[in-house]
A and B are shown apart, each in its own frame.
Chain A
Amino acid sequence: MRDVLRHHLFWPVAALVVLLVANTIARPGFLAVTVRDGHLFGAPVDILRTTAPLLLVALGMTLVIATRGIDLSVGAVVAVSGAVALSHIASSPNPDSPVTVLTAIALALVLCLLLGVWNGFLVSVLGIQPIIATLILMTAGRGVAMLITNGMITTVNSTPFKVLGSGFWLGLPAAAVLAFGVFAVVAFVVRRTALGMLLEATGINPAASRLSGVRSRTLTWTVYTASGLFAGLAGLLISADTMAADANNAGLFIELDAILAVVIGGTALSGGKFSLSGTLVGALVIATLERTVTVLGISPLVTPLFMALVVIAVTLLQSPRMRERLTARRRQVATPPGSRPAAGPGPTPGSTTDPTTDPTEVKA
């Protein structure tokens, strides 16, 4: 039981369960999934679909954060991606042709990849601090997206493209299949190869990693590129969702949601050890949270308040201090009677453990 309690996914999963239970109490049929025309329908399915773009962005964000970085530009990249794809489809004489759609997707992804390359260049080659380097694209990127759409909300009708938003594959929403599929592949690659460890080493001590022959710079560059690419993919899903490219609003604040997903999942923003499974749960928590607000009929006015409370609760419960409390209780049970219980349990804040990183982090 105690090991369960100390597992790094315990609190995020608990948060998810609490949210689902709350929804089910408010609405007993909440978890019901029905099959129609061989497709699954229902709130859980909706949640999977709405999680999809966030999951992709959070995936890239996790890798970037592992290298001690952060990518604030993902929201803008989402907007650019939709703008490029939909402008291409809209300007083509035959929006329903798969070739048009594939070209549009390819164009968008390549451009977003390049935007990622740009971020990576600023960070890894020019050595600009990530938060500022990506702030540049965060600002300019939306401008670029508007430039592409000429400030209009570009809308299209294209059956093959619409599949990305509301189509079904294998009975599940195509967007969810795509996002979870990409996530699984990346997670597999990162953890089954040495990539994860090398990223962590880069994030913890770039100088030592370089001397050990780790291509720190290339790795750093790569994660920003990946983040751009995943954000681009997310942008396609988001624009296909409404079949509109809204340069101003598409992906607005998604960077914050993604960072929150990463943090709720137990990855420290100070880089190093990261948990992709945590990010997955984190993204689900956020998507479910948004849904909960509507289902519980919580006034939209207090939505941010509700968000804040959940975030504070999860992060406090996950904080080193709270974990020590749990450890301390265990230790007290373990220590023989008569021995003096520790004054301040475990290492005090002044212990040699670096307070910015969580030593108990476990990787996925």
Chain B
Amino acid sequence: MTQQTAPPVVELTGISVEFPPVKALDGVDFSLHPGEIHALMGENGAGKSTLIKALTGIHSPTAGTIRVDGVERRFSGPADARAHGVSTVYQEVNLCENLTVAENIMLGAEPRVLGGLNWRAIRRQAATHLRRMGLDIDPSSSLGSHSLAVQQLVAICRATVGDCKVLILDEPTSSLDTDEVAHLFTVMRGLRDEGVAILFVSHFLDQVYEVSDRMTVLRNGTLVGEYVTADLPAAELVQHMIGRSMDVLEAAEEVLEQAERPAGATPLLGVVGLGRKGSVQPFDLDLYEGEVVGLAGLLGSGRTELARLLTGADRADVGQARVAGRPTRLRNPRAAMRHRIAYTSEDRKGEGVVDGLTVRENIVLALQAERGWMRPLPRKQVDELVARYIQQLGIRPADPEALLRNLSGGNQQKVVLARWLATAPRLLVLDEPTRGIDVGAKAEIQKLVAELAADGMSVVFISAELEEVLRISHRIAVLRDRRKVAEIDGNGATMDQVVDLIAGGGAA
């Protein structure tokens, strides 16, 4: 497996990167060998993405050396890095949705004829690369017409075009489902066996254990250590990452176990035959106070779209909704907010963060919008509120005046969550709230959800991680092909049972 004998293909020594006043990396050493899958681990904001960007020349380190194939280098940017065999799929999957799949894969390396692009060859080669990734899509279809998962795979496909000695994947699995992850791992192992060095970032510990050979752990911009995966127990890894033991996780479990589903008389929100043409088939659902309802389903099964109908993000064209027994129409998010219904979108970048505003402004945004522009929140109240959530959710840096775009992905997610908690909702619909969030924070969020429910809030919880849904939910609604197919009790349910329902094998 690991080939410690081979000299490292990438070797970083004493790398520091600063975003004054933040020291994102402080004298970090790191090495990557050919033919290994190396996981880079750490909490949100630990500096993983920054390390990758320093290597590929997006950020220039203030100190340290970078060696690739034994030669000291400072790449001028991704193009330069790529020309030296270092290909990267960055955390913010960013391809061009306005171009075709083939172009996205081949752009910059297109075959040419008579000085012009050879479109036939482009499509043919792209198709070959897609096949190698086991992706069966039309190369001349527009990238934007594909799901995020497919786009993610196309991004990886692009990275492997040409002479690729080092492949860097920053959280490639955060929007993939189980099958797709398995698929990706097969591809990764194949590349490793061809001698490619793979650097891999993920917050899913089981995935890391499944696929990686070695791992490097960062904490607060400093190196904690380098370990052989097989030799490091998960509990120890987590301790290295968060710098303390896993008390939080256990605490979360405790709260969850204590919480009993209350027998509420009228549902907080009850919908009958709610649906929208072309989006979700009419469904019934009752949500009670103090209860967590999980939504399970495959990617594209309609969980998000169901959530959007519950929260007025999309308008239903059939069906009725009742809040506390009274008929109502959830015409838009504001209408839902009046009933204290909150929704955090899965699309953090597009529908969550307002990246040009500060942490403070992002946190108070919904609350302020609800009060209307005429009644600004008193500054003192704002400061208290913001300080509380920064502390409670561990938002880093803990600076209310930091621009949101300068926060790491996971911390941005926490800010968006804080925005909704600040509105004190009675029903909180969380769509993939733990995507891209580190283990510690994930446990915190799960604990938070349990506590909120215990305090009487009703929560709808969507996650691609079935295990998480099972653990946290009192009740689980299962969706398949944009239709609600089953509703089961969360306590008795087993993984196999739910998987059967999701896949359409089990009895509905």
Question: Do A and B have CB atoms closer than 8 angstroms in the complex?
Answer: yes
7 shortest interchain CB distances as A-B pairs: A213-B369, A204-B356, A272-B356, A212-B366, A214-B369, A195-B373, A194-B376
Q: Is the CB of A205 within 8 A of B62?
A: no
Instruction: Check B272 for interface membership: any CB of A closer than 8 A.
Output: no
Q: How far is the CA of A335 from the CA of B334 in the complex (A)?
A: 49
Instruction: Check B350 for interface membership: any CB of A closer than 8 A.
Output: yes
Q: Is the CB of A205 within 8 A of B353?
A: yes
* B365, closest chain A residue (CB): A212
Q: How far is the CA of A169 from the CA of B345 in the complex (A)?
A: 54
User: Which chain B residues numbered 18 to 66 have a C-beta less than 8 Å away from chain A?
Assistant: 19-20, 53, 57-60, 62-63
Q: How far is the CA of A272 from the CA of B63 in the complex (A)?
A: 35
Chain B residues contacting A201 (CB-CB under 8 Å) are 354, 357, 361, 365
Q: Is the CB of B356 within 8 A of A273?
A: yes
Q: Is the CB of A200 within 8 A of B351?
A: no
Chain A residues contacting B352 (CB-CB under 8 Å) are 208, 211
Q: Is the CB of A339 within 8 A of B366?
A: no
Chain A residues contacting B403 (CB-CB under 8 Å) are 359
Instruction: Check B355 for interface membership: any CB of A closer than 8 A.
Output: yes
Q: How far is the CA of A193 from the CA of B379 in the complex (A)?
A: 11
Q: How far is the CB of B415 from chain A (nearest CB, A)?
A: 11
Q: Is the CB of B59 within 8 A of A343?
A: no
Other than A197-B361, A208-B353, give 17 A-B pairs with Cβ distance below 8 A: A193-B373, A195-B373, A198-B368, A204-B354, A204-B356, A205-B351, A210-B333, A211-B352, A212-B419, A213-B334, A213-B337, A214-B369, A273-B357, A327-B20, A350-B57, A352-B53, A354-B405
Which of the residues A194, A215, A357 comes within 8 Å of B371, measured between beta carbons? A194
Known: A340-B63, A352-B58, A359-B403. A211 touches B333 (CB 8 A): yes
Per-residue 0/1 for A305-319: is the Cβ within 8 Å of any B Cβ (1 yes, 0 no)? 000000000000000
Q: How far is the CA of A194 from the CA of B366 in the complex (A)?
A: 12
Please indicate which of the listed interface residues A195, A207, A212 has the most CB atoms of chain B within 10 Å of its own CB.
Answer: A212
Q: How far is the CB of A291 from chain B (nearest CB, A)?
A: 36
Chain A residues contacting B62 (CB-CB under 8 Å) are 335, 339-340, 342
25 CB contacts below 8 A, A to B, read A194-B372, A194-B377, A200-B354, A201-B357, A203-B356, A204-B357, A205-B351, A205-B353, A205-B355, A207-B350, A211-B313, A213-B337, A213-B370, A214-B365, A272-B356, A342-B60, A342-B62, A348-B60, A348-B77, A350-B58, A352-B53, A352-B405, A353-B406, A359-B356, A359-B406
Q: Is the CB of A209 within 8 A of B63?
A: no
Q: Is the CB of B60 within 8 A of A208?
A: no
Instruction: Check B507 for interface membership: any CB of A closer than 8 A.
Output: no
Chain B residues contacting A214 (CB-CB under 8 Å) are 365, 369
Please indicate which of the listed interface residues B63, B373, B377 has the most CB atoms of chain A within 10 Å of its own CB.
Answer: B373
Instruction: Check B73 for interface membership: any CB of A closer than 8 A.
Output: no
Q: Is the CB of B58 within 8 A of A351?
A: yes
Instruction: Check A192 for interface membership: any CB of B closer than 8 A.
Output: yes
Per-residue 0/1 for B298-323: is the Cβ within 8 Å of any A Cβ (1 yes, 0 no)? 00000000000000010000000000
Q: How far is the CB of A235 from chain B (nearest CB, A)?
A: 28
Chain A residues contacting B405 (CB-CB under 8 Å) are 352-354, 359
Chain B residues contacting A215 (CB-CB under 8 Å) are 334, 369
Q: How far is the CA of A224 from the CA of B19 in the complex (A)?
A: 38
* B78, closest chain A residue (CB): A350
Per-residue 0/1 for B315-341: is the Cβ within 8 Å of any A Cβ (1 yes, 0 no)? 000000000000000001110010000
Size band of the B side of the interface? Answer: 35 or more
Chain B residues contacting A272 (CB-CB under 8 Å) are 356-357
Known: A204-B354, A207-B351, A215-B334. A198 touches B369 (CB 8 A): yes
Q: How far is the CA of A340 from the CA of B63 in the complex (A)?
A: 6
Known: A208-B350, A343-B74, A359-B405. A194 touches B373 (CB 8 A): yes
Instruction: Check B389 for interface membership: any CB of A closer than 8 A.
Output: no
Q: How far is the CB of B73 from chain A (nearest CB, A)?
A: 12
Size band of the A side of the interface? Answer: 35 or more
Q: Is the CB of A347 within 8 A of B356?
A: no
Please indicate which of the listed interface residues B63, B353, B354, B372 has the most CB atoms of chain A within 10 Å of its own CB.
Answer: B354
Per-residue 0/1 for B71-105: is the Cβ within 8 Å of any A Cβ (1 yes, 0 no)? 00010011000000000000000000000000000
Q: How far is the CB of A346 from chain B (nearest CB, A)?
A: 9
Instruction: Check B288 for interface membership: any CB of A closer than 8 A.
Output: no
Q: How far is the CB of A5 from chain B (nearest CB, A)?
A: 16
* A215, closest chain B residue (CB): B334
Instruction: Check A28 for interface membership: any CB of B closer than 8 A.
Output: no
Chain A residues contacting B265 (CB-CB under 8 Å) are none
Chain B residues contacting A212 (CB-CB under 8 Å) are 333, 365-366, 369, 419
Instruction: Check A344 for interface membership: any CB of B closer than 8 A.
Output: yes
Q: Is the CB of B357 within 8 A of A193?
A: no
Instruction: Check A323 for interface membership: any CB of B closer than 8 A.
Output: no
* B332, closest chain A residue (CB): A210
Q: Is the CB of B351 within 8 A of A211?
A: yes
Q: How far is the CB of B108 from chain A (nearest CB, A)?
A: 15
Instruction: Check A331 for interface membership: any CB of B closer than 8 A.
Output: yes
Known: A200-B357, A204-B354. A209 touches B365 (CB 8 A): yes
Q: How far is the CA of A133 from the CA of B405 in the complex (A)?
A: 31
Instruction: Check B200 for interface membership: any CB of A closer than 8 A.
Output: no
* A358, closest chain B residue (CB): B356
Which of the residues B78, B313, B370, B376 comes within 8 Å of A193, measured between beta carbons? B376
Chain B residues contacting A193 (CB-CB under 8 Å) are 373-376
User: Which chain A residues numbered 167 to 197 have a C-beta less than 8 Å away from chain B?
Assistant: 192-195, 197
Q: How far is the CB of A340 from chain B (nearest CB, A)?
A: 6
Per-residue 0/1 for B477-493: is the Cβ within 8 Å of any A Cβ (1 yes, 0 no)? 00000000000000000
Chain B residues contacting A348 (CB-CB under 8 Å) are 57-60, 77
Chain A residues contacting B376 (CB-CB under 8 Å) are 192-194
Instruction: Check B343 for interface membership: any CB of A closer than 8 A.
Output: yes
User: Which chain B residues numbered 271 to 308 have a C-beta less than 8 Å away from chain A?
Assistant: none
Q: How far is the CB of A270 from chain B (nearest CB, A)?
A: 9
* A360, closest chain B residue (CB): B403
Please indicate which of the listed interface residues A211, A331, A354 has the most CB atoms of chain B within 10 Å of its own CB.
Answer: A211
Q: How far is the CB of B89 from chain A (nearest CB, A)?
A: 15
Q: How far is the CA of A200 from the CA of B53 in the complex (A)?
A: 30
* B18, closest chain A residue (CB): A331
Chain B residues contacting A354 (CB-CB under 8 Å) are 355, 405
Q: How far is the CB of B288 from chain A (nearest CB, A)?
A: 24
Q: How far is the CB of A35 from chain B (nearest CB, A)?
A: 41
Per-residue 0/1 for A125-163: is the Cβ within 8 Å of any B Cβ (1 yes, 0 no)? 000000000000000000000000000000000000000
Q: How far is the CB of B275 from chain A (nearest CB, A)?
A: 21
Chain A residues contacting B334 (CB-CB under 8 Å) are 213, 215
* A209, closest chain B residue (CB): B354
Chain A residues contacting B377 (CB-CB under 8 Å) are 194
Chain A residues contacting B345 (CB-CB under 8 Å) are 208, 211
User: Which chain A residues numbered 271 to 305 have a C-beta less than 8 Å away from chain B?
Assistant: 272-273
Chain B residues contacting A335 (CB-CB under 8 Å) are 62
Per-residue 0/1 for B128-164: is the Cβ within 8 Å of any A Cβ (1 yes, 0 no)? 0000000000000000000000000000000000000
User: Which chain A residues numbered 200 to 242 have a C-beta less than 8 Å away from chain B?
Assistant: 200-201, 203-205, 207-215
Which of the residues A339, A344, A357 comes within 8 Å of B60, measured between beta carbons? A344
Please indicate which of the listed interface residues A213, A347, A353 has the most CB atoms of chain B within 10 Å of its own CB.
Answer: A213
Q: How far is the CA of A209 from the CA of B62 in the complex (A)?
A: 37
Chain B residues contacting A347 (CB-CB under 8 Å) are 19, 59
Chain B residues contacting A194 (CB-CB under 8 Å) are 368, 371-377
* A204, closest chain B residue (CB): B356
Known: A209-B354, A213-B366, A353-B405. A339 touches B333 (CB 8 A): no
Chain A residues contacting B58 (CB-CB under 8 Å) are 348, 350-352
Q: How far is the CB of B436 from chain A (nearest CB, A)?
A: 15
* B20, closest chain A residue (CB): A331
